[in-house]
Amino acid sequence: MADRFPPPGMKATQEQLDAADVPYHYRDYCAHLFIDYKECRLTSGFSWRTSCHHELHAYNKCEYKEFKRRVAIAIEEKRRRGLITA
């Protein structure tokens, strides 16, 4: 099952996550995009809502893809156990 839905590789190292003060609940496969978004927010000042929308969109899209991957794994596991017949 892991071969059908391989996780993407981590692009941010533990040192980069620590240096950027990324909270532990954001340290997933999309953490490198969260770092970019956080840096944009800190450098943009009060205009971060309009100037960082690309970074936020990229991060949200990555999180959505990861969510879909996890749901596909859960459905595959339920089919394997016989809980879903379709």
**Widest Cα–Cα separation across the chain:** 53
Percentage of the chain exceeding pLDDT 70: 97
- Residue 48, token pair as written in the block: 């971060």
> 21 pLDDT exceeds 70?
yes
Distance CA 74, CA 84 (A): 11
Let me know if residue 3 belongs to a domain: no
Domain count, the chain: 1
Let me know if residue 1 belongs to a domain: no
Burial of 52 (0-12, 13-18, 19+ CB in 10 A): buried
- Report pTM: 0.84
Let me know if residue 7 belongs to a domain: no
Please name which of 34, 8, 30, 10 lies closest in space to residue 22, comparing C-alpha atoms. Answer: 34
> 2 pLDDT exceeds 80?
no
Q: State residue 57's pLDDT score.
A: 97
> 1 pLDDT exceeds 80?
no
> Which structural domain range is residue 36 located in?
14-81
> 75 pLDDT exceeds 70?
yes
> 61 pLDDT exceeds 60?
yes
- Residue 46, token pair as written in the block: 């009060």
Let me know if residue 35 belongs to a domain: yes
Let me know if residue 8 belongs to a domain: no
